Amino acid sequence: MHDITALLGDLEGIPYSTNLSQVRAKSRDMTLSFSPILKQDLQGKSAEVVVTPRSQAEVIRVVAACARHRIPLLPRGAGTGNFGQAIPLFGGVILDMTALKRVLWVKGRRVRAEAGAILESLDTAAKAAGGELRIHPSTLRTATVGGFVGGGHAGIGAVTYGILRDPGNILGLKVLSVEEEPQIHEIRGRQVNWVHHAYGTNGIILEVELPLAPAQEWLEVILCFEDFMDGARFAVALGQADGIAKKVISLCEWPVPSYFKPLAAYILAHRTTVLTLVAAENEEALRWLAEDHRGQITYCKAAGLGEFGPLYEYTWGHTGLYAIKAGIALSYALGLFPPHDLIGSIERVWRRFQSLGPLCLEMKRMDGRGVMAQGSPIFNFVSNEHMIQVIRDMEAEGVHVRNSHTYLIEESGFKTVDPEEQAFKQRMDPYNLLNPGKLSTASPKDSASKAGLELEVTGWKA
């Protein structure tokens, strides 16, 4: 496909692999488990070589060589994305950034690290200085900070601090252009969102600077509810209780809690479950809310004391992983349940889809608005047409649905690519070598005709 031999001749001393199995492994992310639609359309897509630079200087050498030889490249972290971010469409180079893993500094309520640093290492460094990450994915122990910023959205902490694109949640990025003489750009303020959730198409992230929250003692709590709507009302009430500090509120209808085998001792059969982390000083208030909503607390201990690992690893993306382990051919229509009609929209969707599959929701904030919910019924995939109908039915109940089954950034509903960002893309990637095909406004002429599920959705752009 490309002159990889000539490229490698320019990269003497930099580790690389052309081993077919290794290249294929690095050309995958979690998309193939979470979307049968994308699994079909991305089948067989692979890079031609994996290059693993060990320093920013080596990254610059690789990028310059790719620009000279006009070879596509895709910067990759741990590959925990769910939307095709790390799957190359046009071969070329996987730029494995995981060797650039230094936490550079913690200053006050800020932390800065290289793009390949595991998020847990940032959190550990922050805690040593009295802080902690505001927001992180359920894959804290495996995901890289560059991957989270480049392809992530929200996660643990979003119920308090909002989503990554909200002002103040990404402080600064050091980004490299793809040219014969690559240029380093330090971007801050609103410009960070030109690179956030752009799948590596708008520059190669070298460093990330994030804000920190004051470190707190957290309680991990499991609650069970006989009635789903009691659990839903509790989850919403907890999310709206500004006096209670919390990091996550995860609501799962039965039988999803039965998939969490390591939690079996604390799960009551045929009950809806809420998993949450609240500040230790708010335990009494939590118990008060639980009593008001007929909830039974089955586990309540300081975070880290459970024999089942971190409780957050049963929320957000990890919920789907446990469904897959239970044999569910996982599919979902990821909806945003609006704050002005939160309980109403949850109840309507729950009643409408009881025969389809159990409902799972995460509480979060976004765009400076009140508490809302993100989630979907979990169900076995039937067909593209069935998925479209589920999405249409959810939208009819007042839920904003994003297209989780496309690799096109603009079509997913997560962000709007405005003219300023398009101009930034042109400056950073004049030859369109960065993860080509994912940004439809800059796709190669021979771009694949299929891009997952093709439909118009209300999305989460507002």
Q: Is the pLDDT of residue 444 over 90?
A: no
Task: Write out the two tokens for 12.
Answer: 């003497």
Least confident of 52-61, 154-163, 440-449: 440-449
Long-range contacts of 101-105, Cβ-Cβ distance < 8 Å, separation of 24 or more: 101/144, 104/207
CA-nearest of 45, 15, 29, 5 to 81 is: 29
Tell me the per-residue pLDDT of 64-121, one tens digit each, with 9 for 90 and over: 999 999 999 999 999 988 888 999 999 999 999 999 999 999 999 999 999 999 999 9
Pick from 207-221, 373-387, 395-409, 431-445 the range whose average pLDDT is largest.
Answer: 207-221
Rg (CA), the chain: 22
Task: Write out the two tokens for 105.
Answer: 């500094």
Tell me the per-residue pLDDT of 187-238, one tens digit each, with 9 for 90 and over: 999 999 999 999 999 999 999 999 999 999 999 999 999 999 999 999 999 9
Q: 454 pLDDT band (50/70/90 cuts)?
A: confident
Mean pLDDT taken over the chain: 94
Tell me the per-residue pLDDT of 306-355, one tens digit each, with 9 for 90 and over: 999 999 999 999 999 999 888 887 788 899 999 999 999 999 999 999 99
Confirm if 144 and 122 have CB atoms less than 8 A apart: no
Rounded distance between C-alpha atoms, residue 140 and residue 56, angstroms: 23
pTM (2 d.p.): 0.95
Tell me the per-residue pLDDT of 341-390, one tens digit each, with 9 for 90 and over: 999 999 999 999 999 999 999 999 999 999 999 999 999 889 989 999 99
Amino acid 460: pLDDT: 67
CA-nearest of 163, 167, 151, 161 to 438 is: 151
Q: Which helix (H) or strand (E) holds 396?
A: helix 384-396
Rounded distance between C-alpha atoms, residue 184 and residue 202, angstroms: 13
Tell me the per-residue pLDDT of 38-57, one tens digit each, with 9 for 90 and over: 888 898 999 999 999 999 99
**Residue 243 CB contacts under 8 Å (≥ 6 apart), including other chains:** 282, 285
Amino acid 331: pLDDT: 84
Q: Which of helix, strand or coil describes residue 198?
A: coil
Cα separation of the two ends of the chain: 40
Amino acid 55: pLDDT: 98
